[in-house]
Amino acid sequence: MLALRLQYFATAQNVNMLRYKYSELSMRYNEAAFIGQQRSRAAQMKLFDYAGFAMLTYTIKKSPKDEGFMPVGEELFVSKAIYDNNIIIYLTDEEGFAKAQTKPMSIPEGEKILEKISSDGLKRFEGELKTI
């Protein structure tokens, strides 16, 4: 009977540890989401000033070792993607995760906005763009 109680206690303790680990992971996710949302919202407002419209895209990304989540990066870069006869301008982090994007627009209009953003000092992101 004592062995059964000890086994039950050990099992209950493991469940509590799992709950703690789950809540710690959720907390990290929530914290990453909060920080990422602040960074992406700032990018959205900046892009809105140039284009008159901007949508929020990524706010979090998986950690490099796939151990949880992290917010999108602090740095800000500009990138573009051309789809058929339209262009979308993106503000990204240093890894290419899009924080904000414009709506599709004509290529000449988009290039004009892109040139303005670049002339104001934002560097272009030339790597692989990660969008929704």
pLDDT tens digits, residue range 95-124?
Answer: 999 999 999 999 999 999 999 999 999 999
Q: Is residue 7 part of a domain?
A: yes
Q: How far is CA 117 from CA 20, 60, 91, 120, 126, in A?
A: 46, 24, 10, 5, 15
Q: Is residue 85 part of a domain?
A: yes
* pLDDT band for position 1 (cuts 50, 70, 90): very low
Domain count, the chain: 1
Q: Is residue 130 part of a domain?
A: no
Q: Is residue 15 part of a domain?
A: yes
Q: Is residue 132 part of a domain?
A: no
Residue tagged 């030339």 (tokens): 126
Distance CA 97, CA 84 (A): 22
pLDDT digits (tens, 9 = 90+) for 14-47: 544 444 444 444 447 888 899 999 999 999 999 9
- Helix and strand numbers (H, E) in the chain are 2, 8
* pLDDT band for position 11 (cuts 50, 70, 90): low
User: Percentage of the chain surpassing pLDDT 90?
Assistant: 67
Q: Is residue 109 part of a domain?
A: yes
The predicted model scores a pTM of 0.77
pLDDT digits (tens, 9 = 90+) for 48-60: 999 999 999 999 9
- Of 47-51, 60-64, 68-72, 92-96, the poorest mean pLDDT is in 60-64
Q: Is residue 65 part of a domain?
A: yes
Residue tagged 């009977």 (tokens): 1
Q: Is residue 129 part of a domain?
A: no
Give the residue numbers spanning the domain of 38.
2-124
